[in-house]
């Protein structure tokens, strides 16, 4: 179906849409943490790169990356419409992710990135997180 708006009108409309982050994936992971008894995490911590979850004692910064926005090698796609814009936008996201990882690692943090699709296999994902936390516990 063709868009009823011009490109300029659509751009203005889409520019007014405000992001809510990746709340759905964060909430799903939060529920998994509670179900599996994972504690000592914080959300909205003031840490460079704005990790979705922080384990301050273990100095773990955990990010839940959306498959589209962070160019998942399995599910990441580039829209056919306005391809140049999207290619540049997703490249900037990947570059920013690398800078965040380097900066946090240099500050003594362990950076853990979880793909959105990893949430489908909750037991495997929680096992991975538990192993990471156990190895870093004091």
Structure pTM?
Answer: 0.79
The Cα 56–Cα 109 span in angstroms is 9
* 118-130 exposure pattern, b = at least 16 Cβ within 10 A, e = fewer: beeeeeebbeebe
Pairing of strands 53-55, 60-65: antiparallel
For the chain, the structural domain boundaries read 22-136
CATH topology for 22-136 is Endonuclease; Chain A (3.40.960)
* pLDDT one-digit tens code per residue, 44-101: 899 999 999 999 999 999 999 888 888 888 888 888 888 898 899 999 999 999 999 9
Q: Do the Cβ atoms of 36 and 93 come closer than 8 Å? A: no
* pLDDT one-digit tens code per residue, 98-125: 999 999 999 999 999 999 999 999 999 9
65: helix, strand or coil: strand
Q: Where in the chain does DSSP place strands (E)?
A: 53-55, 60-65, 110-115
Q: pLDDT value at position 76?
A: 81
As to burial, measured by CB atoms within 10 angstroms (0-12 exposed, 13-18 middle, 19+ buried), residue 9 is exposed
Q: Do the Cβ atoms of 43 and 52 come closer than 8 Å? A: yes
């Amino acid at each position: 179906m063709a868009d009823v708006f011009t490109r300029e009108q659509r751009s203005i409309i889409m520019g007014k849409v405000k992001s809510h982050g990746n709340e759905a994936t964060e909430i799903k992971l939060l529920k998994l943490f509670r179900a599996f008894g994972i504690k000592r995490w914080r959300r909205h911590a003031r840490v460079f790169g704005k990790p979705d979850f922080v384990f301050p004692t273990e100095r773990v910064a955990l990010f839940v990356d959306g498959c589209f926005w962070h160019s998942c090698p399995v599910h990441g796609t580039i829209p056919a419409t306005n391809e140049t814009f999207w290619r540049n936008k997703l490249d900037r996201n990947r570059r920013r992710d690398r800078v965040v990882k380097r900066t946090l690692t240099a500050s003594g943090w362990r950076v853990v990135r979880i793909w959105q699709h990893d949430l489908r296999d909750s037991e495997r994902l929680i096992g991975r997180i538990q192993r990471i936390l156990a190895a870093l516990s004091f």
